Each structure stands twice: as structure tokens, then as C-alpha cells.
Structure 1
Amino acid sequence: MKWLLSLMLLILPGIARAEITPSIAERCVQSYAMRYRVPPELIAALIDVESRWNPHAVSNKGAMGLMQLMPATARRFGAFEPFDIEQNIAAGTRYVTTLMWEFHGDLRLVAAAYYAGDRWVGQQQLNYRNPDVLAYVQAVRRQYLIRKYAAARPPRR
């Protein structure tokens, strides 16, 4: 019985943290998307695909946090603590904003550049054929449309 209490004490803080984190992250997405005039559904879709809302995610290439920022990109856009939820989302949203300007709002190119790098996509434009890039763009598009549709639906009564 004593071990059960110990187990509960270990599990409950993790559960509470898991419930708090998405709401903080979602508020940050809304706030920074509005500030930088980027669709919040796009930022959320990128997070869906990049980290599945895990603020401690690290890729095998070294990308970090919710928006999976590479260290140089994180520093460039002001995330000096890339695992900090607010810094990560703020920097990632600023990066997406620069991509939106660079690719004139074409969300396919923005998503491709977010994944593969803006120089490579800038040279290739819509002629990219890398299956990983195509799958990534499709996954972001799917999540974006799901979120866009959900936001447009009237609330249930």
C-alpha cells in the first residue's frame, strides 16, 4: 500500500504538468500569431507535426522544443532558452513570419522552408521533389485544415 502512495506522488505531478503545458502553449500560439499576423492554425499545425506539443522534444538533428528550432535559428530569433515554451513559440513564430514574407504567403513554400531551409526551397520553389519535404508539407497542410475547420465551426450547444 505504501508503494502505491509513492507511485501516485510520482505520477500526479507529471499529469498536472501535462494538463497545464498545452494551455500555456496554446495561449502563446494565439498571442504571438496575433502579434506577428500569422494564422494561429499554421503555428499550431507546425507544432502538431514538429513536436506533438512536447516542449522537451529534441530531434536527431538537434532541433529543440515545441517548434523544433535549430540552435542557430533559436538564437537568431531570440530563443536563448529554446525549451522555454514562450521563447520557443515566439522565436518560431517570428521565423514563420519571415518565411511568410519571403514566400509571399504561400503556405506550401513556408512549410517546406520551415522543414528544409529557406535557401533550398527558395531555389527550388514548387519544384521540390524530396519525398520527406512533400510528406512534411502534406502533414502540416492536413493539420492546418483540421484546425482551420474546427475554428470556423460554430460552438455546440
Structure 2
Amino acid sequence: MRILPYTDALAPAFRAINEAWIRDMFVLEDHDRHVLSHPREAIVDRGGVILFVADDAGQVIGTGALMPTEPGVVELTKMGVTAQARGTGAGAALLAALIEQARALPGIRTLYLLTSRKCEAAIHLYERAGFVHDADIMARYGGAYARCDVAMRYALDQPGA
């Protein structure tokens, strides 16, 4: 597997992968539609990062983003892998690369994510990577999505991803 940086040519994969998992479990919200339709404007041009994971044949099988929400704070968001890639380690590889990128962003002190209890496999992946459930993150940012009932924080100063 290879990690690829965002290019405008990969924007359709970002949208398709995320729309698939969101529609499978939830309903696309206005915020989702905006970010998925305008990833450069909503994420990259604001100092964020979008990464992709490709299989050995070069096919994009997953994506995720770090979206700035306020100075020093980024949200791990829009992370998903294709149905065929689930269980292959693609999600773990992508998550490790996103954590590494968050550490490299200047001035970032808080990395968090918002999710739903319905996403059990993803929550276990985040916990294994070192994310912890955080009531303060839920109170501050949890209202961003109707589907959010889980908020987690990652200590960027901890060793390893």
C-alpha cells in the first residue's frame, strides 16, 4: 500500500469513498456535501491535509483528512476505505499517516475526531492508535454533525502513531 497526497485529480475519489460510507450508515448532511464537493477550498486551502491510500495496483482504496477548525486545532475527518478494502490494514496505514501529518503541521496542539457509535470498527481502530474518548471535545465540537455521539482526542506529544 502507498500513501498519496491530495491532488485535484483525486478529488472524485475523496468524494466517492466518503459518500459511500456515509450513505451506507447515515444521511449526507449539508456540511458533508460542502466538504466533499469542495475539498480544496474546505480543507487544503485552509491549511489542512487530505491523504489517500492506494493498493499495490495503484487503485485508491481509502482517504482521510485533517481539517483545521480553529487556530492550533485540526479535526481528523472524512476517513473511509472502500468496502472491498475493509480488513486489509488500509485504514490503519492511512490513520498512521494522518497522525504523522498532524504532528508535522506547525502550531497544532489538538487533534480530534467526531464519529458515531454505529462505527464500531472505526472506533476500535482509533482506540488502538491512541485516541481517547473526550467529553470536552464532544461539548466543543460534537454539534457539527447530527450523527455524532462519540468524540475522541489524540495526544500529539505521545510517541509513535
So what's the TM-score if we normalise by structure 1?
0.30
So what's the TM-score if we normalise by structure 2?
0.29
Q: Report the structure, 1 or 2, having the larger helix content.
A: 1
Larger Rg: 1
Q: Report the structure, 1 or 2, having the larger strand content.
A: 2
